[in-house]
């Protein structure tokens, strides 16, 4: 495999990933540190695989190439943008629309075969994340664990799916008390 599927999620200590605003809006984390984690991931990112809602948000925020010092707009413009949706029909800014559902595994196999080598990232997209985890399609999971217990909201892992013997590839801590854990499926 020359491309890998890498899901990155901001999560609370109790596994809640949505609403992510409850984690990211907190004023006690250091934005620069999180930016560094993002920039590092970008160096190997050749595509994004995202759900409709995340796609729509990113499209609205970045497709017009607003001036931004972080280089997000240029990065997103340069990589493949795959959106998984049963309703969108040839939307602007998308490299391709995948239908997902029963065909998700085949869709992902196609995405991983085409284009330049590197990581295809999954961000936001909680529903898509559940489907990818349940179908065992992820190569890597990057958990950005915020030191908070939110006690409500949607979780990263779908109920009823188990995975054994993950490899802890990397573990580090940011000054603000965020732990970044990278797991790989063997």
Partner 1 sequence: MTRRIVITQNITVDGVVEALDWFTPEGDGDVSDLMPLLAEAMEREVGFLVGRRTFEDMRGYWPHQTDDTTGVTAHLDAVEKFVVSSTLTDPAWANSTVLRGGEHLADEIAGLLKEGPDGDVGVTGSIELCHALLAADLVDELRLYTYPVVLGRGRRLFPDGVELRPTLVDARAFRSGVSLQTYRLH
Backbone φ/ψ region at 149: left (φ over 0), alpha (ψ -120 to 50), beta: beta
Token pair in block for residue 44: 């190997």
Task: Give the three-state DSSP class for 110.
Answer: helix
For partner 1, the closer of residues 77 and 173 by Cβ is 173
**Least Cβ distance, residue 30 to partner 1 (angstroms):** 13
**Least Cβ distance, residue 103 to partner 1 (angstroms):** 24
Check if the beta carbon of residue 83 is closer than 8 Å to that of residue 55.
Answer: yes
63 in contact with partner 1 (CB under 8 A) = no
Nearest alpha carbon to residue 93 among 83, 85, 103, 101: 83
Site for partner 1 in 65-124 (CB under 8 A): none
Nearest alpha carbon to residue 41 among 140, 134, 174: 140
For partner 1, the closer of residues 67 and 168 by Cβ is 168
| Token pair 């995340």: residue | 54
For partner 1, the closer of residues 95 and 176 by Cβ is 176
**Least Cβ distance, residue 88 to partner 1 (angstroms):** 30
| Token pair 């330049």: residue | 116
Residue 137-166 contact track with partner 1, rule CB under 8 A, x = bound:
----x-x-x-xxxxxx--xxxxxxxxxxxx
Q: Which stretch binds partner 1 (CB under 8 A): 9-17, 39-47, 52-60, 89-97?
A: 9-17
**Least Cβ distance, residue 142 to partner 1 (angstroms):** 12
C-alpha distances (whole Å) from 183 to each of 7, 80, 141 are 10, 24, 5
C-alpha distances (whole Å) from 127 to each of 34, 77, 155 are 24, 24, 10
For partner 1, the closer of residues 74 and 172 by Cβ is 172
For partner 1, the closer of residues 135 and 167 by Cβ is 167
Q: Where does this chain bind partner 1 (CB under 8 A)?
A: 13-15, 133, 141, 143, 145, 147-152, 155-168, 171-173, 177-179, 181, 183
């Amino acid at each position: 495999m020359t491309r890998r599927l890498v899901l990155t999620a901001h999560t609370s200590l109790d596994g809640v990933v949505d609403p992510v605003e409850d984690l990211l809006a907190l004023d006690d984390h250091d934005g620069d540190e999180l930016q560094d984690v993002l920039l590092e991931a970008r160096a190997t990112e050749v595509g994004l695989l995202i759900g409709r809602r995340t796609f729509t948000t990113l499209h609205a925020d970045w497709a017009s190439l607003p001036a931004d010092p972080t280089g997000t707009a240029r990065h997103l413009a340069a990589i493949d943008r795959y959106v998984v949706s049963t309703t969108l029909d040839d939307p602007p800014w998308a490299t391709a629309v995948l239908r997902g559902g029963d065909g998700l595994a085949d869709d992902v196999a196609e995405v991983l075969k085409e284009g330049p080598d590197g990581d295809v990232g999954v961000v936001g997209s909680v529903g898509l994340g559940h489907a990818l985890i349940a179908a065992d399609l992820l190569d890597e999971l990057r958990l950005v664990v915020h030191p908070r217990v939110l006690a409500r909201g949607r979780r990263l892992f779908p109920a009823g799916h188990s995975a054994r013997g993950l490899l802890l590839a990397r573990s580090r801590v940011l000054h603000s008390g965020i732990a970044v854990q990278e797991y790989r499926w063997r």
